[in-house]
Amino acid sequence: MTDSSRIATARLGANGPEVGVQGLGCMGMSFAYGPSDADESRATLERALELGVTLFDTADAYGAGENEKFLSPFFNAHRDEVVIATKFALAIPPDDPTRRVIRNDAPYIRQAVEASLRRLDVDVIDLYYMHRRDVNVPIEETVGTMADLVREGKVKQLGLSEVTADELRTAHTVHPIAAVQSEWSLFSRDIEANVVPAARDLGVTLVPYSPLGRGFLTGSFAKAEDLTTDDFRRQQPRFTGENAAANAALLDPIRTVAESHGATLGQIALAWVQQRASVHGLPIVPIPGTRRPGRVAENTAATRIVLSEDELALLEPIAGKVSGDRYADMSFASAGRE
Ligand SMILES: NC(=O)c1ccc[n+]([C@@H]2O[C@H](COP(=O)([O-])OP(=O)(O)OC[C@H]3O[C@@H](n4cnc5c(N)ncnc54)[C@H](OP(=O)(O)O)[C@@H]3O)[C@@H](O)[C@H]2O)c1
């Protein structure tokens, strides 16, 4: 492999490490997107690292700890090369393992970090995110507890997922926040109004999740019925009924741009996020999720695609025409609280 196939790097927060400019979302390897092949997932992790991907994204909620356990041997085999990001906040109530309750309180965070460290089998988590915001706990308290974990050496950097701009600003007064993780793609641009400018002003790196619109932007599925019955996306408003049909038609301009670059639709979607961030003037590390080595190579190659002003203009109206919210319950997302 030539050095030129390795991706560039970006800084994670003002004082954080340099990481590959694209990370890898590992959620689908254990959770949410139908059946996975463990050997293929492992090959995907190795291929990603070869290509310069160093930020690997998981959460305690992905498969109720199974994703962290699955990743542990890979992380430990490459401990000095990988930056491990995991998250807390989606608690499983003891009386009903099918439900999730958002918890940001200190006793819960302390229990969650110990459980993640144990499952990952590491001494320290490189980037620890609050996955979802529990509005009943002041954000100062939550970040105060997270900052204690940094002082105790259990965690290196702090991140927040799906926070509003105000929550981010308040959090940052308690302890520097290295990264904000939120959905950002050609289909989901709500964070551009407030969260992205706040992150830029504070020197926080943006980590866009679902940059491929959960796979829809690649054209690999067109409606909920194309997915296996256990696939979480079957419940998402954008992929069901009339919304799905209307949204599939929105891929046409992406197809046009892809053809002119000899690229795939997914590559154009990824190149767009990367370029949109330079318009806003802040560092980003998108974390497309895949379980297939060939797709990692395809996705990382997208970091080298440059879109013209005309192409950006053609793609600009897409998000405004999307039918359906990105979650069935938008209080689950920052935009539901702004
Ligand atoms: N903070 C949060 O609340 C939150 C929420 C959602 C996700 N995340 C994180 O963000 C990561 C990425 O988000 P996501 O997985 O939801 O969505 P995504 O990255 O937009 O899309 C992932 C989907 O696209 C498919 N895919 C990937 N590359 C492809 C390619 N080149 N061609 C065709 N299909 C391709 C994947 O299938 P295969 O796997 O079969 O390739 C998977 O079904 C997750 O893994 C997770 O770590 C965080």
With a 6 Å cutoff on the Cβ, whether 89 touches ligand 1 is: no
Give nearest CA residue, ligand 1 atom 45: 25
pLDDT of residue 1 exceeding 80: no
Is 208 touching ligand 1 by the criterion CB < 6 Å?
Answer: no
pLDDT confidence of residue 18: 96
* Nearest of 108, 23, 14 to residue 61 by alpha carbon: 108
- Rounded to the nearest angstrom, the distance between the alpha carbon of 32 and the centre of ligand 1 is 10
Provide the residue type at 190 as one letter: D
Question: Would you name the residues annotated as active-site residues?
Answer: 62
Q: What residues have CB less than 8 Å from 326, skipping those under 6 apart?
A: 183, 187, 188, 210, 236, 237, 238, 333
pLDDT tens, 261-318? Answer: 999 999 999 999 999 999 999 999 999 999 999 999 999 999 999 999 999 999 999 9
- Contact criterion met (CB below 8 Å) for 116 and 60: yes
- pLDDT 10s digits, 175-232: 999 999 999 999 999 999 999 999 999 999 999 999 999 999 999 999 999 999 999 8
8 A C-beta contact, residue 88 and residue 96: no
Using CA atoms, how far apart are residues 331 and 338, in angstroms rounded to an integer?
10
The pLDDT of 107-128, averaged and rounded, is 98
142-151 residue pLDDT tens: 999 999 999 9
pLDDT tens-digit series, residues 19-29: 999 999 999 99
- What pLDDT score does 162 carry? 96
Q: What is the pLDDT of residue 95?
A: 87
Q: Can you give the pLDDT at residue 2?
A: 52
DSSP secondary structure code for residue 241 in this structure = H
pTM over cut 0.85: yes
